[in-house]
Amino acid sequence: MVENKNEAEQVEQPKAEVVEPEPEIEPVKEESNFDKLYSNIASNRYENLRTSHIEQKAKELRKRTK
């Protein structure tokens, strides 16, 4: 009987909440000149790809209309 009573008490006790530690927030570093430079290069590459794609489509359309 004692064992059954202990089991009942264990069930009735509130369970402890698991608290997850918050991730540490890293300080934001200032952008270096290289970051800005690489960002500009990436933007220019994307723009060049987009422009060349548009030019290729226009060229195909010109060929179709002739």
| pLDDT tens digits, 27-42 | 666 667 778 888 888 8
Torsion, Cα 49 51 54 55, to 10 degrees, reads -110
- Output 30 or 58, whichever has higher pLDDT: 58
Does the pLDDT value for residue 10 go beyond 70?
A: no
Tell me how far apart the alpha carbons of residues 49 and 53 are, in angstroms, rounded to a whole number: 6
Burial of 5 (0-12, 13-18, 19+ CB in 10 A): exposed
Q: How confident is the model at residue 56 (pLDDT cuts 50, 70, 90)?
A: very high
Q: Determine the average pLDDT of the residues in 39-59.
A: 92
Tell me how far apart the alpha carbons of residues 62 and 57 are, in angstroms, rounded to a whole number: 9
